[in-house]
Amino acid sequence: MINNRQIDFKTVEWEDIYASARLSGFCPEKAAAEYHAMIQLNSTHLKAEQQFRNIETAIDRIKNSLGGNVHCIFKRYFVSDAANQGCFLPGTDGNIAVSIVEQPPLNGSKVAVWAYFVSDCKVCKDENSGTYIAARSAYRHLYSVQLHTPLTDGKAETHAVFRNYADSLAMHNCTLKDNCIRTWIYVQGVDIHYADMAAERRRFFGNEGLTPATHFIASTGIEGRYINPKSLILMDAYAIEGIKPAQVKYLQATAHLNPTSEYGVTFERATSVDYGDRRHVFVSGTASINSKGEIVHPSDVIKQTARTFENISALLQQAETQTGDVMQMTVYLRDIADYAVVSEYLSTHYTSTPYVLVLASVCRPGWLVEVECMAVKTAENSEFDKF
């Protein structure tokens, strides 16, 4: 059963640290609460070290405001120059999965961050597999971050990254096919190396039983760089230990978008996961595309943005959710010159939703914008354990 419970949204400004955050909270009674925060800096005149320090202060303030039983389990830093800014980031934290990707925030600052918080969960790092584990109820949520193997060859790196990830899942009695829900694949020089990544992913997935006849995995594949500039392929991934096949559905919205396998790539448009008390919907990187796989509105970034959100709405509707259920989104632009008009569009149409605008080329040059998001909706199903 789905009901109409709304997500709570809030915007916070901190004048003393020149930072602001958009927050979303899903807080059902007698169940785990979830929060997403998109934190950005409002001044571009601060030195790099100060910008990163202020971001950490903002994260701490949000954590403290949410209460002692709420844990930050995942952070993704969007930075403007990964090779030179790693020294400003916090050291390894055994209780938080930390992702760092060079995708410059388009407001002109050097860093922005997406942080995810959950109440009443135990978080730890498994040193053998390198996996961060958030344990709740009957599930263990597995976060694998910064997966890379610098070999200066797109296919070889893709194979190594997926091979290592599959091996780490096996340490938790999981597989790519049965447990992985979401990946993010960052490709340095996406216009050149995306085809090699996609070809090797398709081959690797086939060997793991992921085919058009079974299913794929929700994903974003886009321009991005790691701290190590020699890495062509960088991946983050999310899997769930304890999930049952009946809890997972794959969304396609074929009236709006074509199956990805029709043009040789292997990811799901969106994936929904049902628990006993809620539904999560993971929408992959989505662009201005039609049901024939064609780019819609070439060279018009605003019309492409509108079509992108039309496609996202169609995917959400298939999971009985809507844009008002979206807790966070990342908006990627190919051209920095499009920032002002797209920012105005978003501030008009998505006044509360936490989002960040970053510079990152989409996998097809004709696509000027891409958006990914996550939505949450109350859902009661006695067959499944609660989140």
Distance CA 360, CA 375 (A): 23
Full 3-state SS string of 325-362: HEEEEEEEECCHHHHHHHHHHHHHHCCCCCEEEEECCC
Domains and CATH numbers, the chain: 1-120 (3.30.1330), 121-243 (3.30.1330.40), 265-387 (3.30.1330.40)
Number of other CB atoms surrounding residue 294 within 10 Å: 12
Q: What are phi and psi of 295, to 5 degrees?
A: -70, 130
Contact 209, 182 (CB under 8 A): no
pLDDT of residue 1: 35
Model-level pTM?
Answer: 0.96
- Specify the amino acid at residue 212: P
CA angle (347, 300, 194) in 5-degree steps: 95
Q: State whether the Cα torsion 47-48-53-56 is positive or negative.
A: positive
pLDDT of residue 253: 95
Q: How far apart (Å, rounded) are the C-alpha atoms in residues 78 and 359?
A: 10
Average pLDDT per run of 10 along the chain, which is 387 residues long? 66 97 93 96 94 96 93 96 91 81 98 96 89 92 96 95 98 97 98 97 97 97 96 98 97 95 94 97 98 95 98 98 96 98 97 96 96 96 93
